[in-house]
Chains A and B, each alone.
Chain A
């Protein structure tokens, strides 16, 4: 069946976002806490623990903690948006049937999907902003001469985390729109999210690896998200524009697929 592609309406998108925000405001303290602590654990274990073994000079002229901290901002956004668009969306779609109720109102299926994208991005940005604030304070307290965040360009990190969150939400929603059983997320996280987390240049620079490792990395989303956060944290070079453009183009191209698939699942 080749139904015409329907684009989301801003109004309906906002209503779905607003529904999620209403719930978030009731439970934000309990929701935020784990997402907030997790990157700190990574920072402590790898940055301080493993970092102690990395000799003077560090990585690319940074201490190891300085190197990994902005990357963890990016991966944190990926995890936040991925959980939102997988487990949470699945529950709303198939268990609580929230979307079935919404699509009988003037809010259409395509608005539901777009609203969820925007919400996942918002959630990623909210987590990231809190984490960023901790990094700023922690960095200046621990070593004022080499802070974790050293540029005012870092103020652009929260809006970029929103965009990065939307990107990972689009990927997660695409997977959600194709599966029938919640157990299948194990595949998504093991085969997509975890490899991205490990091999996108958060813990070691991939650019210096022999071909084709850097070339492969260039085609993956988190690699660019890590670059953007790292550049903004330390003061960006023009190359950051390529990473941002990659993220925007990839997101826009992919965003229409889940809209189509989810509409097919909600409207028979």
Chain B
């Protein structure tokens, strides 16, 4: 089965393969034919604004949506034909909390493990290890309602791991968490990746993608508009240095003229003007010499946010 169905790409083995994958809801085309491949053991990200088709793609991977067209293989299996077998081998961390509120923390893991037909002894042993892994051991007997948002998210991660999945799908794993809780989740995810689990995640946060993803795709309007490693994407689409100008009303337009003449690329994002260049010092000097007023100018390295802005003409968080 697996030898025949998983495709070999050089040294790396694909565990998820999508070919011309499409999803339509009535008249609305949520996913308009995407191709991607996820290698075993990597962390693969889907980036894009709301409505880009990320969640629909994820839902097709974990069996909550049926593809309208194209091909999708997960863990070497066709998702439409081997629904149950695919689900047996993956773990899912949903966007919205759907823990079982009628059950305590430990009971949530026990009941969930039974859905996979695991023997009770094994579930309890794994549950104990997993609660330790997500640092919830002292909450084992607590009601779910008493957990904080961050704890609930960690419990969802533990729950997704109860079947020792080879692939874990995470839909916006840190949305709504405070920075501390977010870092704790990232740390756990990195730990998982280190152990060889394949991670698939969607996110709004560039920082999250840069921190976690080996490779990622950027989606917009149901299509993949670019893909590669974070470094590749940055190198490919934007100049390495960015100057962010902030200014009052009229002067931003004047700045734009100057920047457009001198910088490699210029983007307007809300009340600021972003100029991409390989020599920020020189550009800044030229702006100063022009005499146009510019306050609070910020210099930074280009990141994924800039790639996104460049590709879609808008910022990711709106």
Tell me the A residues contacting B by CB distance below 8 Å: 3, 11-12, 15, 18-19, 22-23, 26, 96-98, 100-108, 266-268
A97–B98 CB distance below 8 A: yes
24 examples of A-B residue contacts, CB within 8 angstroms: A3-B66, A15-B114, A15-B115, A22-B107, A23-B102, A23-B103, A96-B101, A97-B98, A98-B100, A100-B64, A101-B112, A102-B115, A103-B64, A104-B62, A104-B87, A104-B90, A104-B92, A105-B112, A105-B163, A106-B84, A106-B87, A106-B115, A106-B116, A268-B65
A108–B84 CB distance below 8 A: yes
Q: Does B99 contact A (CB under 8 A)?
A: yes
Q: How far is the CA of A165 from the CA of B111 in the complex (A)?
A: 24
CB < 8 Å neighbour of A104 from B85, B94, B101, B103: B94
Query: What is the size, in residues, of chain B's interface with A at 8 Å between Cβ atoms?
Result: 31
Contacts of A11 in B (CB 8 A): 117
- Contacts known (A96-B98, A108-B84, A268-B25); A103 close to B63, Cβ less than 8 A: yes
CB < 8 Å neighbour of A22 from B63, B65, B94, B103: B103
Within 8 A of A (CB), among B61-99: 62-66, 83-85, 87-88, 90, 92, 94, 96, 98-99
Contacts of B107 in A (CB 8 A): 22
Contacts of B268 in A (CB 8 A): none
CB < 8 Å neighbour of A105 from B25, B65, B87, B101: B87
A267–B98 CB distance below 8 A: no
B59–A268 CB distance below 8 A: yes
A22–B111 CB distance below 8 A: yes
Contacts of B110 in A (CB 8 A): 22
Contacts of A105 in B (CB 8 A): 87-88, 112, 115-116, 163
Tell me the B residues contacting A by CB distance below 8 Å: 25, 59, 62-66, 83-85, 87-88, 90, 92, 94, 96, 98-103, 107, 110-112, 114-117, 163
- Which of chain A's residues has its CB closest to B90's CB? A104
A18–B114 CB distance below 8 A: yes
A267–B64 CB distance below 8 A: yes
Contacts of B115 in A (CB 8 A): 12, 15, 102, 105-107
Shortest Cβ distance from residue A45 to the other chain B in the assembled complex, whole angstroms: 34
Shortest Cβ distance from residue A90 to the other chain B in the assembled complex, whole angstroms: 15
A100–B103 CB distance below 8 A: no
B88–A106 CB distance below 8 A: yes
Q: How far is the CA of A96 from the CA of B152 in the complex (A)?
A: 14
Q: How far is the CA of A18 from the CA of B111 in the complex (A)?
A: 8
Q: How far is the CA of A97 from the CA of B64 in the complex (A)?
A: 13
- Which of chain B's residues has its CB closest to A16's CB? B115
Contacts of A108 in B (CB 8 A): 83-84
Contacts of B59 in A (CB 8 A): 268
A97–B116 CB distance below 8 A: no
Shortest Cβ distance from residue A29 to the other chain B in the assembled complex, whole angstroms: 15
Most buried by B among A98, A104, A266: A104
A101–B100 CB distance below 8 A: yes
Contacts of A98 in B (CB 8 A): 98, 100
Q: Which 8 A-B pairs have the closest CB atoms?
A: A105-B115, A97-B98, A104-B92, A101-B98, A268-B65, A23-B102, A106-B84, A107-B115
Q: How far is the CA of A19 from the CA of B25 in the complex (A)?
A: 32
Contacts of B103 in A (CB 8 A): 22-23
Contacts of B63 in A (CB 8 A): 103-104, 267
Q: How far is the CA of A108 from the CA of B83 in the complex (A)?
A: 9
Q: How far is the CA of A97 from the CA of B92 in the complex (A)?
A: 14
Q: How far is the CA of A19 from the CA of B107 in the complex (A)?
A: 10
Knowing that A3-B66, A26-B102, A96-B98 touch, tell me 12 more A-B residue pairs with CB under 8 angstroms. A11-B117, A15-B117, A19-B100, A19-B111, A23-B102, A96-B100, A96-B101, A101-B100, A104-B62, A104-B94, A267-B65, A268-B59
Contacts of B65 in A (CB 8 A): 267-268
Q: How far is the CA of A153 from the CA of B230 in the complex (A)?
A: 74
Q: How far is the CA of A57 from the CA of B286 in the complex (A)?
A: 111
Most buried by B among A19, A105, A266, A268: A105
Contacts of A18 in B (CB 8 A): 111, 114
Q: How far is the CA of A65 from the CA of B96 in the complex (A)?
A: 52
Q: How far is the CA of A105 from the CA of B118 in the complex (A)?
A: 12
Shortest Cβ distance from residue B146 to the other chain A in the assembled complex, whole angstroms: 16
Shortest Cβ distance from residue A114 to the other chain B in the assembled complex, whole angstroms: 14
Q: How far is the CA of A104 from the CA of B91 in the complex (A)?
A: 8
CB < 8 Å neighbour of A268 from B66, B92, B116, B117: B66
Shortest Cβ distance from residue B99 to the other chain A in the assembled complex, whole angstroms: 7
- Which of chain B's residues has its CB closest to A268's CB? B65
- Which of chain B's residues has its CB closest to A105's CB? B115
